[in-house]
Amino acid sequence: MSIFLNPDNETFITHIKAETYVDKSEIVLELNRLFNTDKRYVCVSRARRFGKTMMTALLTAYFSKACNSRQIFQNLNLGRHDDWDRNLNSQNVIKIDLNGWFQASEDVNLTIAKLKEALLAELCLAFPQADITPDTPLANALLIINDQLAETFVIIIDEYDVLFRENVPETVRNEYLKLLSSLFKNEPLKKAIKLAYITGILPIIRQNTQSKLNNFREYTMLNPYNLAPYFGFTSDEVQALCSKFCMDYNLCQAMYDGYHFPNAGHIFNPNSVVECIDTRAYNSFWTPTSSYYAITDCINDDIDGIQQDINRMLEGEDVDIEVESYQNNIEVFASKDEVFTYLVHLGYLAYDADTRSCRIPNLEIRQEWIRVMENAQGFQRVKEVIATSRNLVQATLTSNAQAVAEALDLAHRRVSSNLTFNREATLQSAILMAYFYATKDFLIFPELPAGDGFADVAFIPKSRRHPSIIIELKKDADPQQAIDQIKERNYHKSLTYNPNSQVLLVGITYNSVTKRHACKIESIDAK
């Protein structure tokens, strides 16, 4: 049985049997458009747990000659289109899980040599009529097979960038780049390779602004072009899943949305959505990547004032970013822009091409940022802001109204000017920023439809150990008036998400003359 050459469709069949499977088969339409053209070289880079490996299983099932996938695909969305089967099961597929091969290697220095050896052995066995031997260079072997037998290939490499993200000797990386170049920068070999699809976290590495694989079109977290709908779950897809499994779409959106692309709208983290539905819990399913720690020194050293910008993003702001200078190299970061661009590729930040800015995409990732910053060495300025927010959350949960009022005195001044201080929207922004630490345990919604109106800010707990919280804001009034409005309009009775029936009613007011805040907190049972 081959490891690399002509896999079957069993892995893909396993995927589509899942209750939470989302049909992404129409990606084949775009790849068939590129098939056997000058644009046949495709590099798709996206963050971890965004379905890269599942997509390689789909493409293998579609192109591989070793299986018959007609009945599978004609019943998926792809089958609704004319000419959907143009290249169905027509190619010899070479599929390489580079991360799996690397992790299983007994000697990292022999990773590429052993890979080439294994590939040649499979080609010799599959095509005994061809004049190739185990010593034939891989690219030459494919060319000979094509010349003598008219066989053509699709090459799929999953986690193609793992050797650049792990601690690997430079000699191994160079040997790997040489192999890729021999396959994909080889003009005579183009007639044998009809499509190359490589996927990883990082775009193709550049050295001195040049890439050894500059013939690849790159689809990235900065700009996925026509492949945007296949980078994750769309809003419509998540709404359909939430409806099917009786989950709350708004809570899913707050936790797992936040990546936005022009050709697809909002994109959700697919793994997190599936885990949320499977476990029936709106938890954080993000697991940190070791690649993140490549930039901790840059943050510790506060390069270009990076800690202040991290503070701003933790509090909900967007930060300007220039993405063109980054060379996709994780060993050298010359500026804050390069660090933030790298974090966009990892999924820790989301990028807005229209405003050329980045932000923390959702509550799940904000929670991971807080966890990393609290437990890491350094980051002193960031830790101080986190500690301030943590103390505010604790003061609210313990009904320390005086401490809440004093904390909001500072927060309101930070986000306002003399012209904007007296706007209620400014106070709402101040509250959302000041309470960012609460995202560890709560989903926070401004203007949440509730009862007979809209609650100014609502905190929905992720577990029953915390109460729900409703905040009502007033200017030049008594905090009791704010709490009375919550009760009169029954805001608290609409919070059915939480098995814990306790609700904290928080009335917050500010004086437009003294610019001081007052607070009152009352606990009630919503049942």
Which secondary-structure segment (H or E) carries 240? helix 235-245
Helix residue ranges, H only, 280-422: 296-300, 306-314, 336-346, 363-375, 380-397, 401-415
pLDDT at 465: 84
Q: From CA 10, how far away is CA 17, in angstroms rounded?
A: 11
Q: What is the chain's length?
A: 527
C-alpha dist (Å) from residue 513 to 406, 407, 440:
16, 18, 35
Q: From CA 117, how far away is CA 136, in angstroms rounded?
A: 10
Q: From CA 268, how far away is CA 229, in angstroms rounded?
A: 10
Instruction: Centre a 10 Å sphere on the Cβ of residue 226 and count the other Cβ atoms it contains.
Output: 14
Q: From CA 527, how far away is CA 525, in angstroms rounded?
A: 6
Torsion of CA 354, 357, 359, 362, to 10 degrees: 10
pLDDT at 291: 63
Q: How many CA atoms lie within 13 A of 361 on its CB side?
A: 28
Fill in the DSSP letter of residue 514.
Answer: T
Q: From CA 73, how far away is CA 452, in angstroms rounded?
A: 48
Dihedrals phi, psi of 500, to nearest 5 degrees = -75, 115
Q: From CA 17, how far away is CA 113, in angstroms rounded?
A: 37
pLDDT at 208: 47
Instruction: Centre a 10 Å sphere on the Cβ of residue 66 and count the other Cβ atoms it contains.
Output: 16
Paired tokens of 159: 């986690």
pTM of the model: 0.87
Q: What SS3 class is residue 294?
A: helix
Each residue's pLDDT, cut to its tens digit, for the chain (527 residues) gives 579 999 999 999 999 999 999 999 999 999 999 999 999 999 999 988 888 999 999 999 999 999 999 999 999 999 999 999 999 999 999 999 999 999 999 999 999 999 999 999 999 999 999 999 999 999 999 999 999 999 999 999 999 999 988 889 999 999 999 999 999 999 999 999 999 999 999 888 765 444 678 899 999 999 999 999 999 999 999 999 999 999 988 888 888 998 988 878 899 999 999 999 999 888 888 876 656 676 777 888 888 989 889 888 887 889 999 998 888 877 788 899 999 999 999 899 999 988 999 999 998 888 888 887 877 777 777 788 888 889 999 999 999 999 999 988 887 777 666 666 667 666 677 777 788 888 888 888 887 777 777 888 888 888 788 899 999 988 899 999 999 998 888 887 766 555 557 899 999 998 888 888 999 999 988 66
158: left (phi over 0), alpha (psi -120 to 50) or beta: beta
Fill in the DSSP letter of residue 332.
Answer: -
Q: From CA 384, how far away is CA 374, in angstroms rounded?
A: 10
CB–CB of 13/62 below 8 Å?
no
CB–CB of 158/53 below 8 Å?
yes
| Residue 490 CB partners (closer than 8 Å, separation 6+) | 450, 451, 452
Looking at residue 141, its amino acid is: A
Paired tokens of 264: 């697809």
Q: What SS3 class is residue 246?
A: coil
3-state SS of 298-328? HHHCCHHHHHHHHHHHHCCCCEECCCCCCCC
pLDDT at 422: 64
**Cβ-count burial of 487 within 10 angstroms (0-12 exposed, 13-18 middle, 19+ buried)?**
middle
Instruction: Provide the terminal-to-terminal Cα distance of the chain, rounded to the nearest Å.
Output: 62
Q: From CA 115, how far away is CA 432, in angstroms rounded?
A: 52
